[in-house]
Amino acid sequence: MNPSPTFSVLIPTFGRAEALTVALHAWEQQQPGDVSFEVVVIDDGSPDDTRDLLASLRPQRFSLRRLAQENAGPAAARNRGLRAAQGEIVLFTGDDIEPAPDLLEQHLQGHRKAADSDIAILGLTRWPESDSVTATMRHVDGVGAQQFSYHWLENGSEYDFRHFYTSNISVCRTLLDREPTGFSEAFPSAAFEDAEFAHRLTEWGLKIRYRASALAFHHHPYDPRSFFERQRRCGHMAALLWERQPALAKWLSIRDFENLRLQTATLDTAGRTRVDDVAQDLERWEGHALSLAGFYDSLDPSPKAQDDLLHTLFRYAFLKGLGEGLSSSDHARSAAAAAFMALMPSAAMDYKKGLKSQGLPCPAEDAERLIGLA
């Protein structure tokens, strides 16, 4: 029998054959050659030519395991991969993640230094230098930390379950086997299913140590509109997480949403009418906010005021999704309108002032319409 590889690299994929090609090519370039590993790709019912791509590959550097399933989401795909994985250490990553040539060596060094099978090694995932990085992308991986919190992490320090980023994290199989149910398949989208799993692993001793030299590159461009939708989906998944792990409410803005719902319920007639008016035309109001946020999105460096505007916009998107996950459609829409009115007019006003202080023009129509809601 062949000895078990040191690493099993788990990659769930859905409809991103082009990105997956880049990722698998990079895995072929892993150095040094004495680190043994397999790559387990789980095709989650891709509608494109992912199946043909996987069938055509003949990698030399690693053993490629090809698994396929009907579309069931990344949690189910990872679970299927875990059942098949043979490595002593499992590296979770994505189909749009390009590993640096020494990624596995850096993870291995991290585990050897830790000398503790309960310590997971979190590597750094950042944007490729060759890609056009928007203000949105800089924000969500920077001070905003809506996607990753690396901006605030210290190399070598340990962090809690919220930093179990399945773009670039490795875990000893002995720890994973203590939680044999794996990822909760109640999560249909890629948000919070990793944190929920990590929260359960914490009860078995999981600790997460950050190793910045374990580097990978994320090929997934965002602009304000696409990340807005991502945050809205995250809100939906946060509602599911709260349902499964009520103790995590303090990290999920549950109280903020409940306060908004209470404020909406206690409005006077005039206030109720204003909220109803915004609710009936909410997508148009959101369009003004997205247009405002997108005006300088491709500018590098972006205006200083951009981060504050994006932070507020994406916070609103999360709250909207959370409400949709927690309430009936009518109540959720009213709560979203109330959140929009509470957050976006003042954010637009501050943005206008910030641009003026830098001598930059502000998109007048979008800004003035939002400010007029105050």
Structural domain for 276, as ranges: 224-371
> CA angle, corner 65, sides to 201 and 55, nearest 5?
140
Residue where a domain terminates, one of 203, 218, 233 = 218
**How many whole angstroms separate alpha carbon 165 and alpha carbon 156?**
16
CB atoms inside a 10 Å sphere around CB 333: 20
95 belongs to a structural domain: yes
Q: What pLDDT is recorded for position 1?
A: 46
Tell me the Cα Rg of the chain.
22
Give the number of domains in the chain.
Answer: 2
Q: State whether 124 and 209 are in the same domain.
A: yes
**Mean pLDDT, the chain, whole residue set:** 93
> Which residues have a Cβ under 8 Å from the Cβ of 58 and sit 6 or more positions away?
none
DSSP 60: S
2 belongs to a structural domain: no
246 belongs to a structural domain: yes
36 belongs to a structural domain: yes
Is the Cβ–Cβ distance between 260 and 338 less than 8 Å?
yes
Residue 47 phi/psi, 5° resolution?
-85, -5
29 belongs to a structural domain: yes
**Structure pTM?**
0.94
Q: Which two tokens stand for residue 278?
A: 């915004």
Amino acid at 374: A
Q: State whether 88 and 155 are in the same domain.
A: yes
Q: State whether 154 and 268 are in the same domain.
A: no
Which residue positions in the chain have pLDDT lower than 70? 1-2
Q: What is the pLDDT of residues 42-91, one digit of tens each?
A: 999 999 999 999 999 999 999 999 999 999 999 999 999 999 999 999 99
Residue where a domain terminates, one of 148, 183, 218 = 218
84 belongs to a structural domain: yes
Q: What is the pLDDT of residues 173-215, one digit of tens each?
A: 999 999 999 999 999 888 999 999 999 999 999 999 999 999 9
Q: What pLDDT is recorded for position 2?
A: 59
CATH of the domain at 162: 3.90.550.10
100 belongs to a structural domain: yes
260 belongs to a structural domain: yes
Residue where a domain terminates, one of 201, 218, 235 = 218
Q: State whether 194 and 292 are in the same domain.
A: no
